[in-house]
Amino acid sequence: MTYTTQMDAAKKGIITKEMEIVAKKENMDVVILRNLIEEGKVIIPANKNHKSLDPEGVGEGLRTKINVNLGISKDCCDVEKELEKVKVALEMKAEAIMDLSSYGKTEEFRKRTVEISPAMIGTVPMYDAVGFYDKELKDITAEEFLKVVEKHAEDGVDFVTIHAGLNRQTAEVFKRNKRLTNIVSRGGSLLYAWMELNNKENPFFEYYDQLLDICEKYDLTLSLGDACRPGSINDATDASQIQELMILGELTLRAWERNVQVMIEGPGHMAINEIPANVLIEKKLCHGAPFYVLGPIVTDVAPGYDHITSAIGGALAASHGVDFLCYVTPAEHLRLPNLEDMKEGIIATRIAAHAGDLGKNIKGAKQWDDAMSKARQQLDWPKMFELAIDPEKAIRYRKESIPAHEDSCTMCGKMCSMRNMNKIMEGKDLNMLREDD
């Protein structure tokens, strides 16, 4: 029996090789996984043209995945430097790479990334359109926007961010409800400008069926973008954000009718107390579709430390049911991240994802922490380094300050609680002041 997409296969009762791989990774019964894909609650972004892909699942009951944003821009257009970041991100176990290239050799970077990456690849075709056609934004036609999407699909990207929920109705709600930071989504702001300059409907909303044709052809997953995501604490959970989310829920059902896989993108900047309600609202309005968030960034006043503000929000969001976290680096709001920024962002986001998995009792999450705790109790330093989320940093810190006694560290020395409790529990004496025999 043939199938067009992972969702189509699931509806026909077919277990694909991608489902088998994901089920094994997640220690989940493959039939349960197939049922969740059929319901739209789990996706496996897997473009038919991405030959190097090692598939991952995103959604209910699965480990929280992380995405790393990369790409060339007009100010930083070195393809080789960005490809080096891709390789490091893959080494650091990112499950997704999102190519946000907006200038220069975008096609070369995209194709080379797809070729080498076992991680799923996402793009925002809207970013590429101006450079692809070498035309002013207002002069690009609806047909041309769709052609860029198809080009990205042909090149093998697994998911695309499409801001289809910013239609004329959403735009009117935005105009009537003043915001502190207006529209901060880059793709959303470009689409809003195009709509205003041409006095036309959002082409991705107006020609959504043609967009679905492309997605069905390549098994391209739709990441329905949040053009109206809040860019400040003040704008969170406002009328524009919720209006767009309602439209995205309707577009989700239309996509599922065509067996197109969908995830929903979310905020953004948001006070910590609003995060649980936002997850609940998305899951309700978008029918349980996987939720993909940037952050959320829980305060606006920490430029240079937004990997921390987002990790705080991301951990809470993941614990309440968010399925996919987009990393944020220390360079957020300031500049294009360099390699070290990227590393810090990845580690912070992986910590947030795992903390969320502990909170929602994902299978296998607690066992990792238990293994680390056991290694600490046994003062087994090699095992601690092996289990660390960032072994390189843990080893470096240990080497920078060598203790007099190998079974301790330079913070506690012979007062180490683990060391002393082990001795007492074994019925041994303590030699706090004497030299060891």
Tokens of 413: 């020395």
With CA atoms as reference, report the closest residue to 82 among 136, 247, 407, 90.
90
- Are the beta carbons of 305 and 348 closer than 8 angstroms? no
CA angle 294, 337, 113 (to 5 degrees): 80
* Binding-site entries for substrate: 69, 98, 127, 163, 185-187, 226-229, 265, 292
* Binding-site entries for [4Fe-4S] cluster: 409, 412, 416
Residues 6+ apart with CB under 8 A from 391: 385
Rounded Cα gap, residues 83 and 355, in angstroms: 29
Rounded Cα gap, residues 37 and 209, in angstroms: 21
Residues 6+ apart with CB under 8 A from 82: 70, 71, 72, 76, 101, 109
Strand partners, 134: none
For the chain, the helix, strand and coil percentages under 3-state DSSP, each to the nearest 5: 50, 10, 40
Rounded Cα gap, residues 430 and 352, in angstroms: 39
Residues 6+ apart with CB under 8 A from 248: 164, 165, 224, 226, 264, 285, 286
Helices (H), 360-414: 365-377, 381-387, 391-400
Total number of residues shown for the chain: 437
CA angle 4, 291, 186 (to 5 degrees): 95
Q: What is the CA radius of gyration of the chain?
A: 24
Q: How many CB atoms lie within 10 A of CB 145?
A: 22
With CA atoms as reference, report the closest residue to 101 among 168, 55, 148, 50.
148
* Strand 262-266 relative to strand 291-294, pairing: parallel
* Binding-site entries: 69, 98, 127, 163, 185-187, 226-229, 265, 269, 292, 333, 409, 412, 416
Rounded Cα gap, residues 436 and 45, in angstroms: 58
* Binding-site entries for Zn(2+): 269, 333
